[in-house]
Amino acid sequence: MTHLLLAALFATVGTVRGTVILDSAPLPGCTVRLTSAAGEWTRVADANGAYRFEGVPPGKATLRFELEGVQSAERSITVDGGDNVRPTEKLQLSETKEEIVLTCGMPCSSRSSSSVWALPSCADYDLDTALIESMERGDRSAIALLRERHDREMTFSEKHRLAAAFLGRVSDDTPYWNELSVHAANAIRWSGSLEEPTDEFVQWCAAHDYDPAAYGVVTLEALRLASADRRSLPMLRDALKTGNELLVSAAVQGFAMQHDESALPAIARALEVLDGHTEWIAMALAMYQSEAADRIALKYIDESEREDYAQARRGMTP
């Protein structure tokens, strides 16, 4: 009799499945919770934004969709025995996230683009940011989703941002380091062409089907992203010798983030060589939080900006 009751019970359970999207794009990493009188189940949407619950008892239930940076949604449903296919759930970015995008410059675009030189769409940028934050908090499932998104991403800016996020956080980050370092090294190789492209650089870009002006920006950003990694130290030392303010700035920031005090003499020489205003470069030395770095920085920081330097120094986390 017991076996018959159990068989009857399991014969009535259902499957609940569906897809969650952001605008028109799949929303991988979205947490989907199904709650009913029988219990609670949790799933994470896959790379296609799909989720699936099996063995759900029939009756009233609630579906809740959650992802940082996205407005949560909750739906009341009725589960029947068999296959319950839900309408596509379309979520929206939270108001806070949209304000951040608008006030912090231009990390993304409101429109999708087919160009490798374009900014990523804001939907992709915010989703990647949420997944990166989940990965940094130790969510291993976010790594797999980010790998898939990295491999599908076509824009240089977002592909490199994702590559940098993996450095030191996955078991083998060598492919991601190599991806960044090749372009970062080109920033130094072509340092003389970053502001006024030479004929040689233009020809080299043409051979690689690169837009010279756009590729110059890509190399600088690749160097900046790579500069927090210890493997970048030889490149950063070479960058200091270029006399290019943008490269010197990236190098100073990299050394400061890594608290490499052995680079301070070379930084001091690089700042001496540069003509013009170097306050904005010297400001990065606050990240060192050391008196040796302060002595170099304060040679170049105007009296009116010294309080800003002091506040930046105090605000750094050792």
Between CA 194 and CA 183 the distance in angstroms is 13
Between CA 141 and CA 124 the distance in angstroms is 18
Residues 6+ apart with CB under 8 A from 285: 252, 256, 267, 293, 294, 296, 297
Residues 6+ apart with CB under 8 A from 233: 254, 255, 258, 260, 263
For residues 126-157, b (16+ Cβ closer than 10 Å) or e, as one string? bbbbbbbebbeeeeeebbbbbeebbeebebbb
Q: Where are the domains of the chain?
A: 2-91, 95-315
Phi, psi at 76, each rounded to 5°: -90, 130
The per-residue pLDDT string of the chain (318 residues; one tens digit each, 9 = 90 and over) reads 444 444 444 446 788 999 998 877 788 878 899 998 878 888 888 777 889 998 888 889 999 998 877 888 999 999 888 889 999 999 887 754 333 333 334 578 877 767 899 888 888 888 898 889 889 988 888 898 999 999 999 999 999 999 999 999 999 999 999 999 999 999 999 999 988 899 999 999 999 999 998 999 999 999 999 999 999 999 999 999 999 999 999 999 999 999 999 999 999 999 999 877 788 899 999 999 999 999 999 999 988 888 988 888 887 654
Q: Which fold has domain 2-91?
A: Immunoglobulin-like (2.60.40)
For residue 153, the 8-state DSSP code is -
Between CA 214 and CA 216 the distance in angstroms is 5
